[in-house]
């Protein structure tokens, strides 16, 4: 009976995508506008968006916070961009197999530094604030050239003593070169950049700078590639940090905690840029490098890193199919180290995207055994997903009736909400978190629990979203019955961000505790 009642309740919940959207109730700003409203300087915000491929506001924020110690954070030097043609489908799979087999049998050669591609334009510089215009230029050019490309793109195998590649037949290559020239003109018009189209023979490099004894093996592997396999080609824009063009790319394989001020912290998976000219004064077994994740430089143990592909540090900015007859742009996800990007859905107002949890190995906190005062460790955590962000400014009308009674109309809405002495309208300026927001917070607590982290005190802003986040962190740590949240008004956000002339009417600690939230009612 209980199960039948539950199914009847959930059957009445209308999916968000089926709801009729209310015009003008939800306002969306660009990623840059959101970052500026958060207080970030414009130049830094633009640099963060360019350095993360404009994936999301969250990615840009993460980049900015991790680069607070980067001495070049305010440097105006732009990134370098390149336009490649990349294969997808069966041919791409075959080329990937060739990459793996050739590396496994003959070892790495210089072709392995970059994924399979045809170079359409040479590297060029573009200001951080004009990257969106650059991708718009590519989209406009591809739209004009739809159905003008030869299908399939004819390729011919070519081998020499130190080079193996697939060359585009001359007639088709001329079409691609005209397309590249058209993009160069469009980019100059829209983004004010100088782009140099590739003038040499267009080709996919399979191998070069390899040992002569490996030629027969590599040639045999290359001959097994069926160039007539089905393939769609996408024009894609990538970028790299111009400061590290002539550096060797390394990847961290072991964590390292600095023992001295001139050493660099290492996190597995991070990339390190190493310049040979900076190694003259280092001790044996140590190298000097710069972290991709933080922008900080320092000494690090040489055996904690391994050689990596150059393209692993590149940023993907978007791609569009040139052969597919569909007019929609195809955002491709490339499995090339740091180039791996999640495809972002075009979500309507109020649509909550899927919650993606990325679990990585977290190093347990190690307290110093040296005599003297112990260092204090402070964890700072932002609140979980907000109701008003997911369901829009007028979310109250979706879950409260005329008499102010709460009705859960979406499974991402909480089962119940605390009573407010001023009525449910007080939620307009003090929104709670969603079910997913509670899950996010609880997972943070579980991560702290798994690393044996001991928390002595927990403080929270009086905002309900923050108190709920803190409570769910305690639940994840299994400490909700032993630790109490100290509600501190001084932790509330910068009041300039608050609309209106007054602060929200916060729920008193006693009422929060009555709503089964782990709040310390004695804290003053």
pLDDT digits (tens, 9 = 90+) for 302-322: 999 999 999 999 999 999 998
Boundary (domain end) residue, out of 224, 243, 262: 243
Show the domain range for 509.
387-515
Residue 254: CATH number of its domain: 2.30.30.40
Q: Are residues 257 and 161 in the same domain?
A: no
- How many whole angstroms separate alpha carbon 21 and alpha carbon 408? 18
Question: Same domain, yes or no, for 393 and 461?
Answer: yes
Number of domains forming the structure of the chain: 4
497 lies in the same domain as 398: yes
Q: Do 185 and 114 fall into the same domain? A: yes
Domain boundary among 186, 215, 243: 243
Q: Do 171 and 60 share a structural domain?
A: no
The pLDDT of residue 15: 58
For residue 251, what pLDDT is reported? 96
User: Which residues on adjacent β-strands are paired with residue 272?
Assistant: 250, 291
Q: Are residues 52 and 156 both part of a single domain?
A: no
Q: What is the pTM of this model?
A: 0.60
Of 295, 314, 333, the last residue of a domain is 314
Beta carbons within 8 Å of 493's beta carbon, 6+ residues apart: 461, 463
Residues paired with residue 263 on neighbouring β-strands, in sequence order: 299
Asked, for residue 431, whether it belongs to a domain, the answer is yes
Q: CA 348, CA 420: separation in Å to the nearest integer?
A: 31
CATH number for the domain spanning 123: value is 3.90.1140.10
Q: What are the CA-CA distances from residue 443 to residues 379, 456, 515 (Å)?
A: 15, 19, 22
For position 349, what pLDDT does the model report?
Answer: 33
- Written as six digits, the tokens of 354 are 């899927």
| Dihedral class, residue 411 (left if φ above 0, else alpha if ψ from -120 to 50, else beta) | alpha
Interatomic CA distance for residues 495 and 488, integer angstroms: 15
Spatial contact of 307 and 289, defined as CB atoms under 8 Å apart: no
**Is residue 227 one of the residues assigned to a domain?**
yes
Residue with tokens 């060359």: 167
Q: Which residues of the chain fall below pLDDT 50?
A: 23-27, 325-370
Residue 369 forms part of a structural domain: no
State whether 261 and 234 are in the same domain: no
Kindly state whether residues 128 and 84 are assigned to the same domain: yes
Looking at the fold, whether 180 and 251 belong to one and the same domain comes out as no
CB 301 within 8 A of CB 286: yes
Residue 89 lies in a domain: yes
* Token code pair at residue 373: 């005062």
The one-character DSSP state at 402 is T
Residues 281 and 239 in one domain: no
Asked if the structure places residue 363 within a domain, the reply is no
| 117 and 239, same domain (yes or no) | yes
413 and 486 inside one domain: yes
Question: Is 26 contained in some domain?
Answer: no
Q: How far apart (Å, rounded) are the C-alpha atoms in residues 337 and 308?
A: 9
Domain assignment present for residue 181? The answer is yes
């Amino acid at each position: 009976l209980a199960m039948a009642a539950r199914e009847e309740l959930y059957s009445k919940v209308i999916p968000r995508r089926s709801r009729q959207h209310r015009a003008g109730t939800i306002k969306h700003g660009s990623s840059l506008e959101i970052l500026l409203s958060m207080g970030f300087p414009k130049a830094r915000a633009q640099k963060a968006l360019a350095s993360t491929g404009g994936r999301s506001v969250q990615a840009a924020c993460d980049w900015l916070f991790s680069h607070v110690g980067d001495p070049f954070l305010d440097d105006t030097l732009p990134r370098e961009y390149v336009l490649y043609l990349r294969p997808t489908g069966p041919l791409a799979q075959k080329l990937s197999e060739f990459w793996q087999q050739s590396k496994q049998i003959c070892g790495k050669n210089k072709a392995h530094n970059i994924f399979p591609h045809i170079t359409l334009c040479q590297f060029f510089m573009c200001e951080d604030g004009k990257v969106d215009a650059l991708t718009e230029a590519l989209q406009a050019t591809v739209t004009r050239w739809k159905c003008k490309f030869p299908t399939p793109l004819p390729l011919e195998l070519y081998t020499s003593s130190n080079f193996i590649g697939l060359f585009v037949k001359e007639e088709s290559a001329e079409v691609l070169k005209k397309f590249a020239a058209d993009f160069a003109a469009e980019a100059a018009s829209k983004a004010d950049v100088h782009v140099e189209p590739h003038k040499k023979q267009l080709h996919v490099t399979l191998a070069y700078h390899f040992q002569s004894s490996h030629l027969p093996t590599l040639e045999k592997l290359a001959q097994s590639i069926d160039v007539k396999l089905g393939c769609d080609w996408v024009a894609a824009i990538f970028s790299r940090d111009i400061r590290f063009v002539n550096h060797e790319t390394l990847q961290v394989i072991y964590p390292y905690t600095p023992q001295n001020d001139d050493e660099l912290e290492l996190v597995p998976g991070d990339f390190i840029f190493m310049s040979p000219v900076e190694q003259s004064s280092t001790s044996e077994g140590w190298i000097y490098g710069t972290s991709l994740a933080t922008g900080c430089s320092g000494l690090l143990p040489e055996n904690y890193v391994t050689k990596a592909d150059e393209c692993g540090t590149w940023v993907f900015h978007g791609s569009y199919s040139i052969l597919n007859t569909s007019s929609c742009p195809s955002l491709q996800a490339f499995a090339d180290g740091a180039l791996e990007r999640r495809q972002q859905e075009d979500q309507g107002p109020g649509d909550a995207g899927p919650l993606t949890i990325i679990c990585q190995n977290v190093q347990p906190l190690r307290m110093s055994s040296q005599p003297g005062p112990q260092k204090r460790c402070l964890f700072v955590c932002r609140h979980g997903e907000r109701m008003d962000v997911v369901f829009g400014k007028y979310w109250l009308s979706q879950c409260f009736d005329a008499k102010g009674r709460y009705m859960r109309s979406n499974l991402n809405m909480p089962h119940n909400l605390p009573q407010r002495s001023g009525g449910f309208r007080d939620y307009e300026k003090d929104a709670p978190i969603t079910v997913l927001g509670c899950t996010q917070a609880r997972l943070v607590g579980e991560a702290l629990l798994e690393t044996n982290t001991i928390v002595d005190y927990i403080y929270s802003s009086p905002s309900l979203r923050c108190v709920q986040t803190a409570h769910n962190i305690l639940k994840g740590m299994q400490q909700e019955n032993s630790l109490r949240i100290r509600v501190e008004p001084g932790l509330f956000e910068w009041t300039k961000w608050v609309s209106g002339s007054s602060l929200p009417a916060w729920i008193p600690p006693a009422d929060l505790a009555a709503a089964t939230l782990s709040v310390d009612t004695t804290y003053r």
